[in-house]
Amino acid sequence: MNLIVENYPQLLRAMGVTLTLGVVSFVLGSALGLLVGLARISRFRLLRWPAIAYVSLFRGTPLLIQIMLVYYGLPQLGILIEPIPSAILALTVYAAAYLSENFRAGILAVDRGQWEAADSMGMPYWRTLRRVVAPQAIRVAMPPVGSRFIALMKDTSLASVVTVVELSRAAESIGSSTFRYMEAFLVAAAAYWLINTLLSVGQGALERRLGRAYA
């Protein structure tokens, strides 16, 4: 307990950075993932094949390497990005690859007759997607999307390799200065657990609300 009290400001700042990395990357990754998911189910090969390649590349390589490529590799091409934006960029493109599959599965789960009925009414593609398909697809996609958000929040710990002071980096710093590594990392683990428990509770409440809407 003394460790928390003595290092409360540093831990609070680190938790804020962790939440920022996770939330911003998830929001941006969801937007990009939706576009990639739509491209994957497109009938146009010029959209479908690049989307397939994107998903294969970013799901098939470690996130740690992707973060290091962004932070250490891009400067060799003349592109300099600060540590936090570098981490957000890497986390976003990584999460988008997984989220695209979640969204794609949700869209494909909607009966094809829904698309045909909307088309027979003269409803354009994007309006059909927004008003007819998306509300049904989100119910299917919600559990895996929520799980991806929780996983992404834990993945933010890898940002420490590019000097981002999030929870794990703060715990390492506190441990090295106090030689109380066990306590420092247990505090960080408890903070991650608290964040993800709250996310799980929120996900469950949202799933129940969506379920009632279609009961």
- Note the pLDDT of residue 1: 62
The tally of CA atoms less than 13 A away on the side-chain side of residue 175 is 14
Q: List, in order, residues 6 or more apart from 100 with CB less than 8 Å away.
A: 32, 33, 34, 35, 36, 37, 40, 51, 54, 55
What is each CA distance from 8 to 22, 89, 147, 158, 168, in whole angstroms? 21, 29, 29, 22, 14
- Note the pLDDT of residue 32: 97
- What does the pLDDT look like over 47-65, one tens digit per residue? 999 999 999 999 999 999 9
Q: In this structure, are residues 140 and 106 in contact, taking their beta carbons and an 8 Å threshold? A: yes
Residue 188 CB neighbour total at 10 angstroms: 24
- Note the pLDDT of residue 62: 96
- What does the pLDDT look like over 96-109, one tens digit per residue? 999 999 999 998 88
- What does the pLDDT look like over 147-193, one tens digit per residue? 999 999 999 999 999 989 899 999 898 888 888 888 888 989 999 99
CATH of the domain at 114: 1.10.3720.10
- Note the pLDDT of residue 215: 52
- Note the pLDDT of residue 213: 55
- What does the pLDDT look like over 16-56, one tens digit per residue? 999 999 999 999 999 999 999 999 998 888 999 999 999 99
Number of domains the chain is built from: 1
Tokens for 2? 């003394």
Average pLDDT score over the chain: 89
pLDDT at 5 over 80: no
pLDDT at 214 over 70: no
- Note the pLDDT of residue 10: 86
Q: Please give the residue range of the domain that contains residue 26.
A: 2-213
